[in-house]
Structure 1
Amino acid sequence: MGSNSQMKIEKGDYGFVLEDVPHLSDYIPDLKTYPNPMRFNPAYSVVKQYFIDDDDTVPEKVVVNKNSSRGVHFRRAGPRQKVYFAADEVHACIVTCGGLCPGLNTVIREIVCTLYHIYGANRVLGIDGGYRGFYSKNTIPLTPRFVNDIHKRGGTILGSSRGGHEKSKIVDSIQDRGINQVYIIGGDGTQKGAAVIYEEIKRRGIKAVVAGIPKTIDNDIAVIDRSFGFDTAVEEAQNAINAAHVEAESAENGVGVVKLMGRYSGFIAMYATLASRDVDLCLIPESPFYLEGEGGLFEYVEKRLKENGHMVIVVAEGAGQELVAQSSSITAKDASGNKLLFDIGMWLSDKIKAHFAKKKSMPITLKYIDPTYMIRAVPSNPADNIYCTLLAQSCVHGAMAVTPALLAGLCMVDKLIFRSVLMVFVDMQRIVDHHNTVVITDRMWARLLSSTNQPSFLRPKDMIEFQKAEEQHQQQQTTTFNQCVVGWRKQQRQQFRNKGRLQSVPMFKLQLANGLTF
């Protein structure tokens, strides 16, 4: 749980924990409110119940059974009836940080257009070049006309960079410019920095909100089901896989190797493989493999070539790093603190070629394709464009008026439920605690193994270890959940003691996963 989260428990026998986001009133009392300008917007006059009820929540876990606890809920995102900023009071800025991702320009465009067209706010600045732009570069005035066509371009019109997070300088810049809405688009490292910026803003007592939209092409941000740009990346990866398949199919014993992005998780590689149906082997960071011996990679490649005469291998950039590391002692990090990876694609290609060079009776032709940066430098596809629009609009709605929990750290999350996309607000700290990874004991990975017919490369003892690790992770989440509830309960009881109203504490039962009852 995020350290800034406000744990709230609903009354009743079937209560749940609402993991809320901070509110400006946490440190600025008596905030003035205004009617939401959307009330007077003719575009929304025909929409019934467009405003989100303050009590609406979305469960973190969609699938439950009769023995499940109600678990954690998040506050549903969307426009509220009242806002905390008048239109002429808003002075917003937008910054993009970290690596590129399809959809960045769409998010920028929709934040600007939502502020202008829905809320009537016309002071929006673009921060040039990432966090460093707050204190070392000029700003870019953003208007609907300026951003009108940027969604048709890849990259980010604001520029981006890694590192450069100097808290005091950034907040000094925010304060000096009179900025009161900061929209930060970036990955887990960027959002970690955003949380620090908010804490400094809060310490200084500035009336300003920090709204984060999580960005990662790898789809590995915690809590969220899908990050923007991911669909586009999977779609774009098909071109590389198709090329590898053509090359492999056109040669005797042809092998096509494609390296895709995926530092800590193999979602792009897995989904691109499933979408293609031409891949014979997919390697991801979550699933270890070995080269030599019975059941190893070399044995499978030989078997596949004998059966089919060609094969395609897709490998995520973070796969097999422990194998490559055995032949190198280099350890370095980029400006964001990410460990620089060894080139698993080149290494694997060389190992396969060296292995078959010893087999004179089975020469191979191997082609290596690395579209790593090509798949992220393109405009977002229609599905991602729509998704980016929902994210950006939800972000602005939250910045204007999250009631009663106005953001200080805000991230959008979607839950795909029967074709519905439900956006929620999540504490920034929540998404920087850990990464989402492919669960290789889950059905999606089983679908991939069924599609490629590849071995799992897991011995029985490995499967037991993975299952134990997954159980421990689930238990750790449950323990953390329970600790938060216990801490909240103690805090509430202490507050009532201090007020001399201990007898009025509402008592109710909350059945938790480990059997604790309150």
Structure 2
Amino acid sequence: MLAPHDTAIASLGPCTFPSPLRLGGRADTALPRFVPDGARVRFQVEWEAEGQPAAEVCFEKAGPREKLFFDPRQTRAAIVTCGGLCPGLNNVIRSAFLELHYNYGVPEVLGLRYGYAGLNPAVGEPPLRLSPELVDTIHEEGGTMLGTSRGPQPVDVMVDFLVSRGIHLLLCVGGDGTLRGARAIAEEILRRGLSIAVVGVPKTIDNDILYVERTFGVQTAVDKAREVLDAAHNEAKSAYNGVGLVKVMGRDAGFIAAMATLASQEVNFTLIPEVPLRLDGPRGFLETLRRRLMARHHAVVVVAEGVGRELLRDEPTETDASGNPRPPDIGPFLRNHIVRHMRQAGVPVDVKYFDPSYLIRSVPANSEDAIFCDALARHAVHAGMAGKTNVVIGLWHGVFTHVPIPLAVSGKKQVDPAGALWKSVLACTGQPAVWE
């Protein structure tokens, strides 16, 4: 259970510089307002009728502060993008730069190259000095103009780099591994007593960061995954006993698979890591699929990449540069077992296998993600200029929040098999709640 102290945000010190933003105070009605530093967002908005929670847990509300820790005219900022690609990376870079440059008047913003390697001069490329001309149209493109990479760098070297370049504010754009790196940097900065703010922007199409309702890139990835699912449906229904099998990303969480299922409405089986998969037996997946083919002569199956680890435990495993395990490929494994099972049952089958993993993460952001990226980036700048550190920008009950990075990386958010999202998937697909 969360306690009130778990959501406390670290600060570099008192805020004494007036903000240059043209916003109003509490008495102003004609202008958008600054956010008071005491504004909070409740963690829990509903509870049983018997009574309220014993302790009120709240997140600090994000937004521009009237007083700043940094003097904008004397501030140098940097942006780094890490990990895998995600729709909206360039949008975040551009909006963060524009907020710093035009609205706060920060004289220099650096773009660090190829992830955290850009903070290690021994292995990284020199940083770019960002300009309005350089970021002008980057939001129209997928990927990241700064480049990205996985894997850590020595934390003392990265902090030495920040000090040597006179950087006061570091924006770290990435997922769970990136935020762990940001936490290490922020903690080393605090240990040394330095005045450098570290702020995270939550990026992952897996949507698996704790206490963050939604990460950017998810909506675009779901849109692209839906297109593939609809194509798989066309392939499946055009063949006798056709099966459209689609593998999507989701190493530990099945949000893309679940959300794309609801968007498409053409999926018959959605397999996610949170629900153990049993292939064999009268109520296992393969027999349930066979009965579907006998009744309707086609089926669409979407499987998240992290499904079936218990089935693939004898397969060789690898790790990526960040130390994350790469699960064996469930897609071909499942395809082969479907073909083998139907052959043994004397049922003809025509399996079409789709693996759009990299496609759905490398495209430009759609309109919804573009708007979301803009807001996340600007809130990250507001937090950093106010001296907030070791913090990631969150969204909770539709309100932007400050979430301590140690809290955000204390676990991974997953689809709740008893929750509303999975209940909707079960209603949409008609599949069993569990495989027995």
Instruction: Place the TM-score, normalised by the shorter chain, in its bin.
Output: over 0.9
Deviation at 1:443, TM superposition (A): 2.5
Query: Which residue of the partner structure matches residue 439 of structure 1?
Result: 416
Deviation at 1:149, TM superposition (A): 1.0
Give the counterpart letter for 1:83 in structure 2. L
Alignment of 1:107 with 2:92, yes or no, is yes
Query: Which residue of the partner structure matches residue 404 of structure 2?
Result: 427
Change (3 A) 1:18 1:169: closer
CA offset digits 1:162-185 (Å, max 9, x no partner)? 113210111111001111111101
Alignment of 1:291 with 2:292, yes or no, is no
Query: Which residue of the partner structure matches residue 52 of structure 2?
Result: 68
**2:301 counterpart SS class:** strand
Query: Which residue of the partner structure matches residue 36 of structure 2?
Result: 53
Q: Is the Cα–Cα contact under 8 Å of residues 211 and 396 in structure 2 kept in the other structure?
A: no
Bigger Rg over Cα: 1
Deviation at 1:192, TM superposition (A): 1.0
Map 1:207-356 → 2, pairs under 5 A:
207-326=195-314, 328=315, 330-356=316-342
CA offset digits 1:184-232 (Å, max 9, x no partner)? 0111111111111111112222211111112111001100111100000
Alignment of 1:413 with 2:385, yes or no, is no
CA offset digits 1:390-441 (Å, max 9, x no partner)? 111111111111xxxx31111111124xxxx311111110111100011111
Decide which moves more: 65-74 or 123-132. 65-74
Deviation at 1:358, TM superposition (A): 2.0
Query: Which residue of the partner structure matches residue 205 of structure 1?
Result: 193
Percent identity of the aligned residues? 42
Q: Is the Cα–Cα contact under 8 Å of residues 244 and 353 in structure 2 kept in the other structure?
A: yes
Cα distance in 2, alignment partners of residues 197 and 178 from structure 1 = 15
**2:135 counterpart SS class:** coil
Q: Which has the higher helix share?
A: 1
Query: Which residue of the partner structure matches residue 66 of structure 2?
Result: 81
**2:156 counterpart SS class:** helix
Cα distance in 2, alignment partners of residues 385 and 433 from structure 1 = 28
Change (3 A) 1:301 1:193: same
Runs of 4+ in structure 1 over 3 Å off: 45-49
- After superposition, the CA RMSD in angstroms is 1.8
Cα distance in 1, alignment partners of residues 273 and 392 from structure 2 = 26
Deviation at 1:32, TM superposition (A): 6.3
Alignment of 1:128 with 2:113, yes or no, is yes
Cα distance in 2, alignment partners of residues 160 and 264 from structure 1 = 22
Q: Is the Cα–Cα contact under 8 Å of residues 245 and 300 in structure 2 kept in the other structure?
A: yes
CA offset digits 1:438-458 (Å, max 9, x no partner)? 111123212111111111234
Cα distance in 1, alignment partners of residues 231 and 420 from structure 2 = 29
**1:311 counterpart SS class:** strand
Decide which moves more: 163-172 or 151-160. 163-172
Cα distance in 1, alignment partners of residues 15 and 221 from structure 2 = 44
**1:175 counterpart SS class:** helix
- In the alignment of these two chains, the number of paired residues is 428
Deviation at 1:325, TM superposition (A): 1.8
Residue of 6, 9, 19 corresponding to 1:36: 19
Deviation at 1:46, TM superposition (A): 7.4
Q: Is the Cα–Cα contact under 8 Å of residues 207 and 215 in structure 2 kept in the other structure?
A: yes
Cα distance in 1, alignment partners of residues 32 and 233 from structure 2 = 51
Cα distance in 2, alignment partners of residues 32 and 439 from structure 1 = 41
* TM-score, normalised relative to structure 2: 0.94
Deviation at 1:282, TM superposition (A): 0.5
Flag structure 2 segments of 5+ consecutive residues without an equivalent: none
Query: Which residue of the partner structure matches residue 98 of structure 1?
Result: 83
Change (3 A) 1:47 1:164: farther
Flag structure 1 segments of 5+ consecutive residues without an equivalent: 9-16, 26-30, 460-518
Deviation at 1:22, TM superposition (A): 0.6
